[in-house]
Amino acid sequence: QYIQGVQSQKVVATVKHFAGNNQEWDRNNVSSDIDERTLREIYLPAFKMAVQEGEAGAVMDSYNLVNGEHATQNNHLNNEILKKEWRFDGILMSDWVATYDGVAAANGGLDLEMPSGEFMNRKTLLPAIRNGQVSEAVIDDKVRRILRIIFRFGFYDTKYTAQENRREIPENAQVALELAQNGIVLLKNEGKLLPLSKDIKSITVIGPNANGYVAAGGSSYTQPFQSVSLVEGIQQAFPGVRVNYVSGAIPKMEDYVEGSPFYIAAGSTEKGLKAAYFNNQELKGKPVATITDPKINHDWSHGPEVKGIGDDHFSIRFTGVLRPEKSGTYKIGVRGDDGYRLFIDDKQVIDLWNDHGATLKSVDMPLVAGHEYKVTLEYYENAGGASISMAAYQEKIDFSAAEEAASHADVVILAMGFDASSEGEGFDRTFELPPYQETLI
């Protein structure tokens, strides 16, 4: 019903991720090894219903391998089952940067490489057609499928603009509200704490997730026309009650970037690191540019503003020294999308050299005041999101404001949990709550 409802509005529903997409960590390299019966009985029925009953216009292949073969070039899944057995006549597309071999993907059933034709392009496929590796019939089938969806959904008949698509529809907001209400699960209610008494005079709301709206990552991240935070909702529900909000002051690694004691060279007083930019992912050859980066805290949507460096497929080597002002244990944290590795005095202390979403890794090290430690941070970006940040710091956790506010309230509501920095695409979240939330509780 959902697929049919979406497509009734001339929007193509894309079913993903086909198939066996069981984990996020190292998803570009992991193989989901599944026997045929398990595949048929557990992993494929939902896709089969979406295609045959829902008549979805598109299916998206996953990043992972299935039985040792990348999903985007898996002949058994894409050609034998999806297209021939189920008679799917729509578009089979890749997830973003999930294509690895243009010829293998073309023969393996992929119709459309996203977000661009890095592998399935004229340079790769024309020679393959001429030497018989790929038949013209295979290409013709892909063209027919793409045109079929264009005509079926009337894309040539109606012209849309981005502004026209931004419409606030009250019925949609009501459905979203009902879904949220029906999705609430009460795990415990010891002492019949809920519902809250109307006689209470004050409520203190504490926690990092209380004062903002919740949105998932990737293409589901949007800016709503209107939103109601937990704090605002409680204020509306208890108009005569004093509602106080305290964040809880749980710092993130990025909060320490500004004061990190990195310097561009031994003996230098200039803060930051030297950054050598390469126009490839392997740090090969001569850098196209070397600049001084006063702080390592980047989140690029369209690539670095460095001449000769594109949005994707680049690498950076940051070098300098770490010179702390005080002795003690320091946490050195790095968050990046995609791969990174950190060396202190030429010893590798963090290794996350693979494709993944923005993931934080840190190491605790005893450092001596005034001593200079050689720092090398290497980073590469494949495609999609691109970010890298690093900080060296002694954590300062102060819950006194939260404790003070809680002590004067009739009721305390704690809003804990995950956010975009701890839960997202390309990495698996932890079972534990994010750092210090349990301590705050």
Residues annotated as part of the active site = 95
Cβ pair 344, 321 in contact under 8 A: no
- The token duo for 382 is 């494949």
Dihedral over Cα of 77, 82, 85, 89: its sign: negative
Q: Which helix (H) or strand (E) holds 103?
A: helix 102-107
Q: Rounded to an integer, what distance in angstroms lies between the CA atom of residue 126 and that of residue 282?
A: 28
Please state, in angstroms and rounded to a whole number, the distance separating the CA atoms of residues 428 and 205: 29
At residue 352, the 3 state secondary structure works out as strand
Tokens coding 263: 């310097």
d(CA 11, CA 13) in angstroms, rounded, equals: 6
Q: Which amino acid is at 222?
A: T
Residue 437 is given by DSSP the state H
Of 207, 211, 208, nearest to 231 by C-alpha is 211
User: Strand 273-278 vs strand 289-293: parallel, antiparallel, or unpaired?
Assistant: antiparallel
Residue 1, classed as helix, strand or coil, is coil
In angstroms, the CA 377 to CA 132 distance is: 45
Q: Give kind and range of the element (H or E) at residue 292.
A: strand 289-293
| Summary count for the chain: helices (H), strands (E) | 12, 20
Residues 132, 120: Cα–Cα separation, whole Å: 16
* Residue in 425, 295, 427 with CA at minimum distance from that of residue 360: 427
CB 78: neighbour CB atoms within 10 A? Answer: 25
| Cα–Cα dist 362/73, whole Å | 36
Q: At what angle do helices 122-130 and 136-152 cross, to 10 degrees?
A: 130
Spatial strand order in the sheet of 242-246: 242-246, 202-206, 411-414
